[in-house]
Amino acid sequence: TMGCLYPDRIFLGVGTGEALNEIATGYEGEWPEFKERYARLRGSVRLMRELWLGDRVDFEGEYYKTKGASIYDVPEGGIPVYIAA
């Protein structure tokens, strides 16, 4: 929606995260290793980029799966994604 309301003014910044920040929020459980976190990040960005094309998406990645997914507000040209480790 933001990408449609403010074209060419929105970007998405994502990263793999770190245990230090998650523990401070009360996260309980085993924190995944960097390799898994990075694979999850790659898969989620691939899925978002496919959804931004505006078609129904069937996606089967290592961690995420969807069938016939779509989004209502499709930003023209997608949204720039900045990725940090």
Question: Is the CB of residue 22 less than 8 Å from the CB of residue 31?
Answer: yes
Per-residue pLDDT tens digits for 24-80:
666 677 778 889 999 999 999 999 999 999 999 999 999 999 999 999 999 888 899
In DSSP terms, which residues pair with 14 in a beta bridge? 83
Structural domain total, the chain:
1
For residue 73, the tally of other CB atoms under 10 A from its CB is 11
22 pLDDT band, cuts 50/70/90, is low
Give the domain extent around 16.
2-22+30-84
Upper half-sphere CA count for residue 21 (Cβ side, 13 Å): 4
pTM summary value: 0.82
